[in-house]
Amino acid sequence: MEFQIEVGEFFAAEDFVKVRSAHVAADAEALRDEGIEFLEHICAVGGKCVIRTTTNPRTVDFNHVDDVGQNPIWSQRERRIIDVFDGLGAHRCDTCINYQTVDQPIFGEHLAWGDTGTVIYANSVAGARSNFEAGPAAVAASITGRVPRYGFHLPTQRRATVRVEIDDLPVRRSDWGALGCLIGRQINDYWKVPALLGDGLRPSPDKLKQLGSAMASYGSVAMFHMVGVTPEAPTEAAAFGDQEPAGRISVRPGDIESVYRGFEPESSKADLVVFSAPQLSLYEMSELASHFDGRSVHTDTRVYLTTSSTIRGEAERLGYLRAIENAGAVVLTGVCFYLMAFGDQEPAGRISVRPGDIESVYRGFEPESSKADLVVFSAPQLSLYEMSELASHFDGRSVHTDTRVYLTTSSTIRGEAERLGYLRAIENAGAVVLTGVCFYLMAPHELIDRFGYRTLVTDSAKLANIIAGYGYNPIFRPTEICVEAAISGEIPW
């Protein structure tokens, strides 16, 4: 709490605000022994999470430490961190796409989220409210259940200040990362909020995910508006407006993409008990598991639960599914969300994205060597759709012998990718899928020492930005080019 008061006073916060959940980034590579000892101390003195708390990716995938070539000390450190989060009572989801797999942010609610990609997504796409609550700050919030009220918890901070006109329409998924890079580089200020305008902007969640994470990474940007797309920007005037959003939330049916689809009971007998509020989160699965544990559903009654298939995978890993199914209940699938509000203010800055600008971002990454040492699909972790896309690219082909190819994803997505055959297609080609990690968290500087890596090709603008600090020569390219580099060992352009 003292820590939170100091931070709050720095930013002239008037009071605290309660938050619904916390998302903690605490990987071993960032913490080192000092940070781990700090966490262990918090646990030892009785610290407990009082709100829902999820965790960001780790430094190692325990199943791949040796073949990735990591020092075993990272596994030891991660196991200590795991013990701490179990002790605190956190949900160890090890994902930077919690908003896609575990914890849907909701319009207007306050959060204490840590990974910048999760925050920009929650603020911008869902209209939830969070500052960057980095590791120690999110841990503090999980224990106190509140955060100092400043920044993006305040309606005034959420208004757009920079007008971004987009004439160069992003097409490929990585193009959206490139767009985020372009805007982030020019803004480079946590306190500025861009509003994106352009004909035909209608991105998928995965595209918004790439856009947001790159913008946050390149520019420390915590929130953007996309006029006609994001909930606080139904119009340009709304995005730049000076009216209070509180009490003016309206849900436009057209904006809601796919609210709780997949509610498809296999049987529609009248004697059904359905737990579907509408679809269950991991927490609700956990709660129902504890209710059902050791009990039995009546023989004349069918019981259905619905959730997303990814949540189902995680519930299976954590034992909730078994408790529910052993009682005789059946778990089904599906999920989504969106919203809006606001009213006039002049933009403080303008950015134009002209035809060719996106291409020039790629061209800005010049390979020192045409050989690709590493091809990495990561940052953020891959969604099921992205896994599917890569599976179709790699299917029946083989990674070049001199090139290592890594993909990272969450355990929930991995499980689903395995079931659908994507994993096999990727692994048969010789690429390695790492779970619960993100590439730049995996002590990448040590991999250079061990394997002599230098040239890293990636379709993630975010990874291309970060990894340069670890001594790599990053080459940011569209997904198909990265795949070609993986197969041929050469960077096509």
Binding status of residue 465 toward another protein by CB under 8 A: yes
CB of 141 to another protein, least distance (A): 11
Closest to another protein by CB, 38 vs 385, is 38
Closest to another protein by CB, 332 vs 463, is 463
Asked if 223 and 123 touch (Cβ cutoff 8 Å), the reply is yes
How far lies 67's CA from each of 71, 406, 472, 479, in Å? 11, 11, 20, 24
CB of 299 to another protein, least distance (A): 52
Binding status of residue 188 toward another protein by CB under 8 A: yes
Only one of the segments 102-110, 189-197, 224-232, 272-280 lies at the binding site for another protein (rule: CB under 8 A); that segment is: 189-197
Closest to another protein by CB, 129 vs 393, is 129
Binding status of residue 101 toward another protein by CB under 8 A: no
Closest to another protein by CB, 2 vs 271, is 2
CB of 426 to another protein, least distance (A): 28
Pattern of binders to another protein over 134-163, x per CB under 8 A? xxxx-------------x------------
Closest to another protein by CB, 47 vs 219, is 219
Contacting residue, 62, 191, 451, 493, with another protein by CB under 8 A: 191
CB of 18 to another protein, least distance (A): 18
Binding status of residue 45 toward another protein by CB under 8 A: no
Closest to another protein by CB, 30 vs 237, is 30
CB of 64 to another protein, least distance (A): 22
Closest to another protein by CB, 10 vs 493, is 10
CB of 147 to another protein, least distance (A): 10
Closest to another protein by CB, 7 vs 126, is 7
Pattern of binders to another protein over 221-260, x per CB under 8 A? xx--------------------------------------
Contacting residue, 123, 131, 403, 408, with another protein by CB under 8 A: 131
What residue ranges bind another protein (CB under 8 A)?
Answer: 3, 6-7, 9-12, 25-27, 29-35, 38, 114-116, 131-137, 151, 184, 188-191, 216-222, 440, 445, 465-466, 468-471
